[in-house]
Structure 1
């Protein structure tokens, strides 16, 4: 999501989902390593302990990685002006916040 018109804190936000706590932690770690290799300075990271919602702060780029139910519950995709994740035509969402 492009956020530069909404906040001066960062210019872009990436939101992704992991299928398990372990996958959320691994994705956050890989994002941090890849961003660092690409020349970004990692200012901080949060949430790797629990693995339900991890955040990697790379200055102008912030990456959120969440379990699907957490992503559904907080709905930051639409909160920041994006669109809800799309699914294959006719397919049901694989999660719902109330299922947990």
Structure 2
């Protein structure tokens, strides 16, 4: 799947799981490891984990195998590495603390 199509697909799946404050950042000019970064918020640790698991399963069903999933044990911040698209799902507290949008925009 092309990175733009994969990004749109992942955003749709996060919306399906009631993820909030979804931000997509084109980082292709700033990084050599990915083209897009998606940042979203979950309501609780359990919600963050559920969104990350759903994104992982839905991508696998479409033939895109995640390169890795990190942080799903605790659930404050889960990262799903889809190669050209990196997905961060965080609690509000973690998102406020690390401010990834400000770092990458």
The normalised TM-score by structure 2 is 0.74
2:83 aligns with 59
Q: What number of residue pairs does the alignment pair up?
A: 81
The whole-number CA distance in structure 1 between the counterparts of 2:71 and 2:51 is 12
Q: Give the secondary-structure state (helix, strand or coil) at the position aligned to 1:49.
A: coil
In the TM superposition, what is the alpha-carbon distance from 1:38 to its structure 2 partner? 2.6
Equivalent residue for 1:88?
Answer: none
Pick the structure with greater CA Rg.
1
Question: Shift in Å at residue 35 of structure 1?
Answer: 1.6
Which runs of 5 or more residues in structure 2 are unaligned?
Answer: 1-24
Q: Could you tell me which runs of 5 or more consecutive residues in structure 1 were left unpaired when the two chains were aligned.
A: 82-100
| Structure whose residues are more often helix by fraction | 2
Q: Which structure carries more strand by proportion?
A: 2
Match of 2:49 in 1: 25
Once superposed, which parts of structure 1, at least 4 consecutive aligned residues long, lie more than 4 Å away? none
**1:5 alignment partner in structure 2:** 29
Q: 2:15 is matched with which residue?
A: none
| 2:55 corresponds to 1:37 | no
Q: CA RMSD in A?
A: 0.8
Question: For 1:23-49, what per-residue CA distance to the aligned partner results, in whole angstroms no more than 9, with x for missing partners?
Answer: 000000001111222332210000010
